[in-house]
Amino acid sequence: MNNLITLPIWAFTVLVLFAAIMVLDRLLMPGLRWVLHKRVKKVMEEVSSRLDIKIRPFQLTRRQGLIDQLVFDDQVIEAVKVHAADNDMPMAIAQEKAKRYASEIVPAFNAYIYFRFGYWLARKFARLIYRVRVGFYDEDQLKKIPQDSSVVFVMNHRSNMDYVLVSFLVAEKTALSYAIGEWARIWPLQTLLKAMGGFFVRRNSKNPLYRKVLERYVHLSTRAGVCQAVFPEGGLTKSGALLEPKLGFMDYMLRDYHPEFDKDIVFVPVGINYDRVVEDRTLIRKLDPTAKRRNQWYVIKTTLGFATKMLLLSRKVRWRRFGYASVNFGSPVSVKQYCETHAIKFDEVDSTNRFEQVKILADTLMKHIADVIPILPIALLSEVLLENKDIWKSELDLKALSLQKIESLRKKGAPIDISPAASEGVLNNALSMLIGRRLVDVEATLIRPKEEALVLLEYYANSIKQWQ
């Protein structure tokens, strides 16, 4: 006689789920991990053969190992003690805070995601709406950078598209690590950006413990030779003009730099410009103190609406609406050579003098960045329209004035990549963009900027104001 054991349905369901989890954990997951590891290894072998700046062991270290290294760094431990004393809390709680900050900052770089998914996504998205151009790129100078150097791309910050554009353009050269603001700390974007080497930064944090953890991470990654991309301005320009550099990141990199035995830090200036910045109206709106602050739901709704609209347009129409996105790379600046030329050792001066010296170097780099920011058609026409804002001009007059400005800029050595043969078509497309965006009034064949569009036109004209 068979003895039957009966179970409630809920208990049977729990047992089935538990058995399924065990099958996944013991049989399927090891196989999946092996397959993923094999693919990552294959990608690493493939990209290592073609990258000019190799992926560093620091980037491939297990994330938990980097977090532990950061938390138990001598300077972080000292900062933990001070934080515990200042806030009258146990050391264990202060150390847990430091661990939480480290976990927030440290990326989870994955070569497979970076080169197989991130690069593909950046390329598709950049080309979806822009005609992407690299104005000039001194291949020889970049190749002369010593292999073990820490390369830091320093660039102007016009749009959140900057991350996408530069990552796509330098993916054949290296894997970039970015400092990313808190705006991107939403799932699944946060996970993707961390996997692509991004590290999150609370830009306005005054917490000394947090700042120390961030400082030590930047120091450790720089010393390890991780290739980084930094926006010295600290945030997006709202007026379109270059901002004064913020010194925090550069100071973190240089305050413990020993030129005699540390590997070289090489700054590569990068200039970025767009015929149309996606968030231009949002940025200039922030200049108006009376404008109401938009909530997060409004931002998400308009972003999704914009993305849907772009996908429904043909490529030709998108390009007519957004025009060119252009990037120029300037001559590298070696910190070792800079220290030797200026007889400066950042690690041997007090904090006041060090900040003064870092400021001089930052200003020098900003000048190099300004010198390579591309001169684009919309910026040119915006400047011409503003110079004649109270006068009706024909299309022919506007194009003639633009051509005169192009010639003048060329004589000054400005980075302008508009050939004489293509200038007619390029200026026609730029005028069509301005008319399509309703930034100008049109009567018969005469054109004049609209009063309400002057601030936006100034935003674009300011991107080349350094050549006035």
Q: Where in the chain is the domain with CATH 1.10.10.10?
A: 377-467
pLDDT (mean) for 425-430: 91
Question: What is the helix (H) or strand (E) element at residue 269, kind and residue range?
Answer: strand 265-274
CB 395 within 8 A of CB 349: no
Q: Could you tell me which CATH class the domain 377-467 is placed in?
A: mainly alpha
Residue-level pLDDT at 133:
86
Q: Where in the chain is the domain with CATH 3.40.1130?
A: 67-372
- Percent share of the chain, pLDDT over 90: 48
**Phi (first) and psi of residue 70, to 5 degrees:** -75, -45
Segment 387-423, tens digit of pLDDT: 999 899 999 999 999 999 999 999 999 998 888 888 8
CB 387 within 8 A of CB 468: no
Residue-level pLDDT at 150:
92
What's the pTM value of the predicted model, to 2 decimals?
0.86
Q: Which residues pair with 199 in a beta bridge?
A: 179
Nearest Cα to Cα of residue 112 among 63, 44, 66, 193 = 44
Segment 196-252, tens digit of pLDDT: 888 888 877 889 999 999 999 999 999 999 999 999 998 899 999 999 999 989 999
Between the CA of residue 461 and those of 323, 392, 415, what are the distances in Å? 16, 19, 15
Q: Is the pLDDT of residue 49 over 70?
A: no
The alpha carbon dihedral of 142, 145, 151, 156 has a sign of negative
CB 167 within 8 A of CB 118: yes
Q: Which of 50-59, 373-382, 434-443 has the lowest mean pLDDT?
A: 50-59
CB 286 within 8 A of CB 165: no
Q: Could you tell me which CATH class the domain 67-372 is placed in?
A: alpha beta
Report residue 41's pLDDT band, with 50, 70 and 90 as the boundaries.
low
What whole-number distance in Å separates Cα of residue 259 and Cα of residue 340? 9
Amino acid identity, position 42: K
What whole-number distance in Å separates Cα of residue 195 and Cα of residue 316? 33
Q: What angle, rounded to 10 degrees, do the helices at 208-223 and 74-86 form?
A: 180
Mean pLDDT over all residues of the chain? 85
Segment 101-138, tens digit of pLDDT: 999 999 988 887 888 788 888 888 888 888 888 765 56
Output 117 or 377, whichever has higher pLDDT.
Answer: 377
Q: What is the dihedral of CA 377, 381, 382, 383, to 10 degrees?
A: 110
Residue-level pLDDT at 274:
95
Q: Which of 206-220, 292-306, 404-418, 433-447 has the lowest mean pLDDT?
A: 292-306
